[in-house]
Amino acid sequence: MNAIGGAGAPGAEFVIRGARPEDSARILKFIEKLADYDGEKDQIAATAEDIRESLFGKKQAEVIFGEENGEPVAFAVYFQNYSTFLGKANLYLEDLFVEERCRGRGYGKAMLRRLAEIAVRRGFERLDWLCLNSKTGAVGFYERLGAAAFDDRKLFRLQGDALRALADVRR
């Protein structure tokens, strides 16, 4: 746990900490807040038990919380990915969310700084993430941090029936 300087409301202490199994329901609440913000709350299928099992049982991803005066106001979900071109692992940020009432206090930057520290400490070369084009404020924020956007790539996804159909073909 480390308090950060230069961020937050006057007199506020912002601390970033790793999530623990007992935070599973809190993680789900943040996921729901993010989905609501993105207008996709109906897409949530995860339960607190799913979160507990995948994060703390199978260790498929990790979570950090940003707390203002002991209250969680930000979270980030991340995991290791791999670049064949680099021949090295990297960090992938799946989700970053700061409570609306706490935006503009430097907490998003502090969370990204912590993720960059984790990546460097683990010997990774990159920190990657996706951002919707429609989130122009976030895009500008990331660009001001020095992040580069790639317009020459598209995200593809197989899910549901299409995923199962392909899996059947490959048996």
| Tens of pLDDT, residue by residue, the chain (171 residues) | 445 544 566 778 999 999 999 999 999 999 999 999 989 999 999 999 999 999 999 999 999 999 999 999 999 999 999 999 999 999 999 999 999 999 999 999 999 999 999 999 999 999 999 998 888 888 999 999 999 999 898 889 898 899 889 898 655
Annotation marks residue 142 as catalytic: yes
The C-alpha atoms of residue 126 and residue 89 are separated, in whole angstroms, by: 8
78, 92, 107, 142: the active-site residue = 142
Residue corresponding to tokens 């809190």: 26
127 pairs with which residues across the strands?
A: 91
- Token pair recorded at residue 148: 């580069």
pLDDT, averaged across the chain: 92
What CATH number does the domain located at 2-129 have?
3.40.630.30
Kindly state the tokens that stand for 101. Answer: 């009432």
pTM of the entire structure?
Answer: 0.88
Token readout for 136 is 């122009």
